[in-house]
Structure 1
């Protein structure tokens, strides 16, 4: 390929993955939040259908909510399912709070998937397994352990 340049690999110290992630992931998302939000505007149909299938009164967590495009769903039954948005980017959360327009204020929480601020099993799993930005196997394992604690199995009556 003419004009292509090689990308140099970066070595991250096993003891400093959080510093690397703060600088090269979280800081970047905060800086590009408005543009990023404009490129992520349409919910995935399978997730929208899943949210529409939930019984009235269910509470879910959208971990890595970004711009909150799933928070106003289900569109066919507004307000029947509460989805709380969790994200590390404060700038994306400012956008997520207003997701869906109509003057509604969405419930959002600033936090990290590695944190665990609520009781085990508090939420229905309603979205993607997020955090593909985690850059170390220990972070991935810790994040997955916390995901499994956050969610309760989905069981229909």
Structure 2
């Protein structure tokens, strides 16, 4: 009898393993096939709707020209900024990167004022400051004198 008890248990275990294994493999294969089909469909749609983009290097002159072209189209009101960027053939991110680097270049390209120019401007501002202080002091004296006359203190 001990042989009979162990044999059916083994058979059940083997049957359960064989039954479940093909289903799992079948499901996995089906999922893989569906996923592969979806990616190929998505890829074909993407390539059909958009042009293939190539990595290009634009010269500084090309960048400035495209930025001016986009600015002119937007200023004229003929198109929105997104449409103008697309018509120039660049991405929005590229446009904003170029625009930001152009601003950074403008800030660094300004020449610092020479020491004599700074000193002359400082002297001029100091003289203007003294003049304004004198005017304010005179105005306050006049106002105080008027108030004293009204109150009869003087």
TM over 0.5: no
Q: Which has the higher helix share?
A: 2
Q: Which has the higher strand share?
A: 1
TM-score (norm 2): 0.22
